[in-house]
Structure 1
Amino acid sequence: MTNEPDLSAFLLAHAGFRTEFGRLAAVLPAPRDAAHAALIEQQVELVLACLHHHHTDEDTTLWPRLRERFPRALPLLDVLEEQHETVDADVAVLADRTRPAADRAHAAARLHTALGRHLDDEERDAVPLLLRAYTAQEWLEHGRQVVGGYDRRLLPALFGWLCSAGTPELAARALAEFPWPVRLVFRLRWWPAYRRRHHALYGTHVRAHAGRAS
């Protein structure tokens, strides 16, 4: 049995960031009606809350551990932290509901590009170090702390969004880390609700089963 941590949930968050800012950039300028506009704003709030939570965890927990364990990687980690700061201005624009929709859509589009590059760098430079810096049990405990830090009211939509963005295989591996009652509630309630939410947001359908291609 391997003692290597399973980073599936971490990488599933990356998949969510890779997709959602581009989707939001497309719908922000032209909501169908007031209900659609409100749903878009809820999704913006959800995605930015997740991005903030993810980056804060990296800056305060993950990167300090890697800095301690792998001094030769300090220049790479410095770059990753600087990239977090470079997106702050566009995050602020996207979060500001008083800004024109076109400006916020452009900010989302820029975030889509900048975060894609950042995640490429992170998966190339930091993920191999995380696999060496954590045991499987340590990473599992860390993941529980990360999930516990979220507003519980966000979890149904958060789980649905991330699983919609990742491949079925990645979603299945990430979900396997959670206790069976959570997986059951996700399958019976959270995933069907998110499929409806996604269609209302973007006018497209996501797969019927989060962890299966069909």
Structure 2
Amino acid sequence: MTDRPDISAFLLAHAGFRTEFGRLAAVLAAPRDAAHAALIERQVELVLACLHHHHTDEDTTLWPRLRERFPRSVPLLDALEEQHEAVDADVAVLADRARPAAERAGAAARLHAALGRHLDDEERDAVPLLLQAYTAREWIEHGREVVAGYDRRLLPALFGWLCSAGTPQLAAAALAEFPVPVRLLFRFSWWPAYRRRHHALYGTTVRAHAGRAS
């Protein structure tokens, strides 16, 4: 095993954030019917739970380690944390089902733009430091802790959504980090279920194999 951590799953989460808020902005304003509206709400809940979990992990675990190891990075990491806080208002609007649909769609569109810029900054400034701050084994252990922090009921849709957003190569690399039973469960159950969910949500079809182009 190389001592360089494989952060494919971390980057797969970024791919999910880069795509899903734009998709949600498009459908929030005009659901087809009550069933579609309910499915959109479940997707909003899933995406916001993942965003909160991801940002909390960065603010409480990853960035403190980088601050300790690389003191010169503190201003860059402070700026990334400020960007986390800057999106909170739109996250609150999107999460509020009592708000008019147009307001929530607008919040999703703003999140799509803001998070795209934020992730560009993070991948430029923080990711190279992560690759130096963690060994391969430490990163695997950290990844297990991250997954354990999720509500298990969300995992099938979460894995499916993120793999649908990433490239086949990135999805395959991220899935390779998990035990064989999880990969088999994903291949034969979670991924087919998510493909149906995605089509019901957005009216488009995702690839038949998460880790392959076709």
TM-score over 0.5 for the alignment?
A: yes
Structure 2 counterparts to residues 132-151 of structure 1, below 5 A:
132-151=132-151
Structure 2 counterparts to residues 147-162 of structure 1, below 5 A:
147-162=147-162
Superposed CA deviations along residues 81-120 of structure 1, whole A, max 9, x for unmatched, are 0000000000000000000000000000000000000000
The one-letter code of the counterpart of 1:66 is: L
Distance 1:129 1:81 in 2: 16
The equivalent residue for 1:74 is 74
Instruction: Say what the alpha-carbon RMSD is for the aligned residues.
Output: 0.4
Aligned-pair CA distance for 1:25: 0.1
The equivalent residue for 1:190 is 190
The equivalent residue for 1:208 is 208
Structure 2 counterparts to residues 52-67 of structure 1, below 5 A:
52-67=52-67
The one-letter code of the counterpart of 1:167 is: T
The one-letter code of the counterpart of 1:145 is: E
Distance 1:188 1:14 in 2: 25
Aligned-pair CA distance for 1:2: 2.1
Counting matched residue pairs gives: 214
Unmatched tracts of structure 2, length 5 or more: none
The one-letter code of the counterpart of 1:17 is: F
The one-letter code of the counterpart of 1:83 is: Q
Runs of 4+ in structure 1 over 4 Å off: none
Superposed CA deviations along residues 121-175 of structure 1, whole A, max 9, x for unmatched, are 0000000000000000000000000000000000000000000000000000000
Q: Secondary structure at the match of 2:99?
A: coil
Asked if 1:170 is matched to 2:161, the reply is no
TM-score (norm 1): 1.00
Distance 2:141 2:74 in 1: 25
The equivalent residue for 1:50 is 50
Q: Using the aligned pairs only, state the percent identity.
A: 88
